[in-house]
Chain A
């Protein structure tokens, strides 16, 4: 948990540091005591002043709120009027369109004019129209689906005229407005909470629309406001100063200045964010501070991402080559024309003019550029976009990516890097939540140095796992609705909310439809049955039962018992869990309630005052005194028989139905664990906690402070007044490394000191064991404060809290002052199970030649253990660990490890090396002078595990590998701590799971389980890459092949730029006749079936090595294209030479055969042909022939210079035409046909072999598959045999032995982290 919290915090700090620069630069300028007016004058530029819109300062309001935006939002790019100019303007930002435009304009120059003016415009117009339609549709949908709805929502806003709250649309809300909201309403703008109907001035919000987290969060009314009655906006004299709008969701700073010049600090807890939902609170009133696009939610809405894929970069290079080719061809023609002209005297067919041959050649150069324009495959860009949309359609519709528990599919957020999925060489994975479930389950604990193994609990977990697996299995076989329903009941813990961009605008998807049926309790965060059910350890129960037995009279036992009770008390209260019960539904109805009466009715029914229903049923004075004595320690207590009854009664019956909503899964796990020992958290309000202790009934604990978790401290604390002893007690829960250091022996009795020492020693031992088992460890400690100590601390803490500018630092310091001299109570081990099929996925990725790195914030031991569990580490692997404290040591270590590795390699053997680096070492290794060594070392390792790494380091590592090794990287993670890494990597994948939606929001693809990665990469990645690469090559081929036909003709027409085709047909040839089949080819072609691709991950390597699109492939394709065009030109040429054929008659068979060649070429290249292919290929051919036929009949004077009237009709009635077409097509395709056949027979690539396997019958297929896998396994076993002999090899499973230096250093390793 620490790691998660810590990294999340760090990340937020990073974001804050980035976005805050310049916005909020002079923190020390504000809280001085100079007059506020002066401040305003100075700081208006940097901050925002908000005053009530209908308040007393009317005149001032206008000037102050001048710069603020209204609440209407517009996520559309265009309006009706601006669409055409804006869209055109944006489209002409593309180089391709500019190229077209240039050609069009060139054609307007009379001396270089090649075609009719209209004709050159066609490609441009078609492309512009296609894109404009696409843009318009997208924009319209955005407007219709989200903006209109969001802007049109109704909320209650205070109106001065009517002196009351009236309904207004969201878009009419302004900064400074007072807005009243009821339960379940969505917040229309960022508002300061001024009033809440809750007695404690608290309101709860659900941020699912913002970050996907469904647990409730508390917000507080601004302090020192008159409470009780609803506040009247007319009398709101205060003025609010706050930061300018920014996108940091977790920070809000400012102050409110009352007329009396008193100032109250404002912070994040006072701010209600737009598009969150009010829950569990009857009415709230707030003042709008940021509206519309200035709200934090909108500022965070960055829209879809644009990345450029590797293949596209490669392709752009080749387009440059095309340009070179074009220039060469045009130059040839220009020079040829000049020379040809010079050799001619005045011929009767020459138009008399005075242009010199050189100038004529120059003009011709430009003419040729127009004529040969198609050589630059500009339509390729549009085609690629369409193809990628198609590919994404199929990825999104893959039923294998569907997760029944979450009812979610894969989300493709980046639309243009599908083919990068097929070229990944490095995968960087987070651990928690990515490899593991992030479903924390309490596994075992140690209290006061005694370990409680919870054997029964472990067994129970196994059972759950099996059940779940069965359920999964069932879900795959059964498709009936009924079984699906039962499954969904099982999966209550899942968050069903999905965050799309639209929900950020305040529109929750599928509203109304989603209302769960009353029998299905709404899923609550982190409380699956598995997490709830903790089977208590019998021994520990027995000890706890001592509370009611005479045994506890013994001194030692009672000492231990206090530890135990304190331990569970800490588990129960040291958290930020929100408690609710199911008969207090949060999701009554999502539609806004119609009237106040309705709301009141509702609340009478459901929302009874919390503590009245939860009042302790069995609290008696005697218990108190009894336990009071217990906690006073050492005083013998008398045993009264009445106690026994009470304990028996304590079985949770009516209270069983509590729902805990925690911010992180391990908090919930701990609370549930405490509950299993009847130490139940019943209520959690701002000032009081209600806890039920065994033998004591319910106790109200006075909550003094919560020192929330932060990453620097890596712990959280609560300060409470103990209900029994009335002492001030600090309960702290945190990372073992930190707590162990802070847990010093209390000054006092020597006996207790030695006892503490013993406990520490024992606990440390247990902690090491836990880590080795792969458990997440947490230490629990407490500290009793004397009231004077507390007074002193309180004073300084109050100062820290009220200070505005340095608040964070002061609060941190204050917390650190409190959390010293802790008494160690014990530690917990929480298990985070691996997700299903993780080992298989990792193994498949490794077989596919992908290097998997695990970057985690966890401890080294835990990380290694998980790595073993998911087969990232094999028993035969040689483990290299790098832990060091200084840069020099790090350098030496790197060299040493390298040498060791060379040794290992020389010893011929290990199946691979795995490097384990901790965060501190990583920091040195990432420095400029060491990163080379580090990379060199890690490059030779099969896997690298970076533990204790910060989010920043994660992204640095990814960037380093990506930039220095020039490889394709993929980062996968689920939490906010992975965001930076996801953004840096070539492909970022977010896992939508337990940790909110931040990772998903910044990712390119969002999946729900790690195992989906296997199919995503191995199948879809492979397909997308091969498809796209082949399609691009095909496009180049197609254009070169066709354009060269025109070029060859220049040698027979005096290089004058004539074309033997009608110019309409020429333009349409690319645009219509041959454009659709390649698209289908790019979307649907399958070289190998999905099953085979999954079973043989090695096939992925072809994509990694860019096999489908090598430089050689490109040039071979070019050569083939040139050969084909030569055939396609010269066969008709010789067939028609010396005849009376006119130019268009000569062009007709050339066009027809080139069309056939181009289409059949695709048939040869395609690996699969479905009826769709057949339809489109035939359709294209038919379209061409019918078009030319109709054109040759209908077109009488169209396209003046070369009028096609009658040409094709005549040609197609002559046998010669077909004779020419047949021979040309055959000859042109022969080499490629032969090459394919020979290549596939003599030296087939793996892909081809696999494709051949697909064609076998099932039996042969299985046999062949086995043989293939055997050959793979053989190489593996070979190395295994050698490895066993190798002395370096660690002993294989099941007991993975850690290197010795790791063992002894684990405690220090932890403490090194800061």
Chain B
């Protein structure tokens, strides 16, 4: 650049008189004064309030029911039983009864919830091997050191799936019963399709072997099951052979660590093909049969069952609509104050006078 211009004669070094180099680029200066921000404030206030009202209506149309079953109903004895680690292998079943007052219209989701379970603990979260879960043979027999100390069982076999996350998998199972005048019947739940598409199809894969005829048990031969598990990973779902191994949907759901210590995880979705559940869950009496396995007393935790419907804006959480309403009102209030300020100071540029 310099060379070419150096030949230009006596004014060779004269800088370009361009808008950029002379810092004269046309610019928008957002000078904030009461006057300039007023329309913006009023506009925002209106938008926020309207949005808040709309969202509130939307959210109010959803339903949610939580049933804490930690030691409710007949689960009390199971709770006592699980206090002792020695009873870990004994099964315990209990029932909790509850009542739905209004019909849950639309898709109903069945969650289990845990209180005070820190899935977001750093050491806990790190203790997994995504390479193993995606079905890499190398990692199957030789899991990442991140899984320590859940990497080998007492026989020295590599654990599949390794790590603390898989090890602590939630293992209660539920059967939801509907008690109507016509008698009691099991509420049909889809136990599949509860995971993210990417998780089910990309992130979790069973180990790939050349010999396609091998059973899953043979594929997982030479690995041990996680210490707290009663069943090996290839035998998690006895009813659906395709829902076993690393692609078991309960496992996948569990492996997606929750953000907070109090969380719920999807267990099933109401099958609305069957009468009388075509519109959703009708009002009435229900009970849940629980196979009570997961101990929570060690960390002062609680367990619950959550039934919920969702809108386009997610589940029943009033915070956001209310927050919008409050913000809208706040902005409106500020706008009024600013108007006063504008009357007093800002009109006709009076603030410019000394």
Contact = CB atoms under 8 A, between A and B. Distances in A.
Nearest to A1219: B320
A1206 B196 contact: yes
Nearest to A1241: B34
B6 interface: yes
Nearest to B139: A1197
Interface string A391-425: 00010111100101001110000000000000000
Given A1053-B122, A1145-B259, A1219-B320, A1253 B32 contact: no
Contacts of B70: none
Contact of B29 (A484, A1133, A1168): A1168
Given A1164-B32, A1169-B29, A1210 B196 contact: yes
Contact of B111 (A397, A1086, A1140, A1201): A1140
B117 interface: yes
Interface in B244-259: 256-259
A1205 B312 CA distance: 23
B128 A1201 contact: yes
A348 interface: yes
Given A344-B299, A399-B22, A1141-B258, A1201 B30 contact: no
| Interface size range on A against B | 35 or more
B27 A1169 contact: yes
B298 A1197 contact: no
Given A1223-B320, A1236-B32, A1241 B346 contact: yes
Contacts of A513: 6-7
A23 interface: no
Interface string A673-691: 0000000000000000000
Contacts of A1220: 320
B152 interface: no
Interface residues of B, number: 100
Interface in B1-56: 6-7, 9-17, 21-23, 25-37, 44, 48, 51, 55
Interface in A344-363: 344-353
A1053 B258 CA distance: 10
Contacts of A1170: 25-28
B61 interface: no
Contacts of A485: 9-10
B168 interface: yes
B239 to A, nearest CB: 24
Interface string A592-632: 00000000000000000000000000000000000000000
A1145 B324 CA distance: 21
A655 interface: no
B69 to A, nearest CB: 17
Contact of A349 (B117, B198, B331): B117
Interface in A456-514: 481, 484-485, 487-488, 510, 513
Interface stretch (B96-104, B206-214, B263-271, B275-283): B263-271
Contact of A1238 (B31, B55, B298, B338): B338
Interface stretch (A534-542, A800-808, A1226-1234): A1226-1234
Nearest to A1163: B30
A484 B197 CA distance: 73
Contacts of A1238: 34, 338, 341
Contact of B22 (A398, A1146, A1216): A398
Contact of B331 (A353, A1057, A1230, A1244): A1230
A1143 B257 contact: yes
B120 A1196 contact: no
B323 A1223 contact: yes
Contacts of A1169: 27-30
A638 B23 CA distance: 77
B13 A1226 contact: no
Nearest to A114: B122
A409 B51 CA distance: 58
A1135 interface: yes
A1140 B268 CA distance: 13
Contacts of A1255: 29, 31
B14 A402 contact: yes
B198 A1209 contact: yes
Interface string B106-123: 000001000001111111
B315 interface: yes
A1135 B315 CA distance: 10
A1240 B33 contact: yes
A349 B15 contact: no
Contact of A484 (B9, B23, B120, B266): B9
A1170 B23 CA distance: 10
A1241 B352 contact: no
A569 interface: no
Contacts of B324: 1219, 1223
Contacts of B354: 1268, 1271
Contact of B131 (A351, A1197, A1237): A1197
Given A348-B298, A397-B21, A1196 B134 contact: yes
B198 A409 contact: no
A89 interface: no
Contacts of A344: 299
B130 interface: yes
A1172 B24 CA distance: 12
Given A1138-B262, A1264-B352, A349 B118 contact: yes
20 contacts: A114-B122, A350-B121, A351-B164, A352-B149, A399-B14, A1052-B260, A1056-B120, A1084-B23, A1137-B260, A1139-B317, A1143-B257, A1169-B29, A1200-B126, A1219-B313, A1223-B320, A1240-B34, A1241-B35, A1241-B342, A1244-B33, A1252-B349
Given A351-B123, A487-B10, A1171-B26, 14 more contacts: A348-B168, A349-B121, A351-B148, A404-B14, A407-B10, A1057-B122, A1058-B122, A1060-B259, A1133-B260, A1134-B317, A1135-B317, A1167-B31, A1223-B327, A1241-B346
Query: 9 tightest CB-CB pairs across the interface, nearest first?
Result: A1206-B198, A347-B299, A1146-B259, A1168-B27, A488-B10, A1241-B34, A1056-B122, A1053-B120, A397-B15
Interface of A: 114, 344-353, 367, 394, 396-399, 402, 404, 407-409, 481, 484-485, 487-488, 510, 513, 1052-1054, 1056-1058, 1060, 1084, 1086, 1090, 1131, 1133-1143, 1145-1147, 1163-1164, 1166-1172, 1196-1197, 1200-1203, 1205-1206, 1209-1210, 1214-1216, 1219-1220, 1223, 1226-1227, 1230, 1233-1234, 1236-1238, 1240-1242, 1244, 1248-1249, 1251-1255, 1264, 1267-1268, 1271
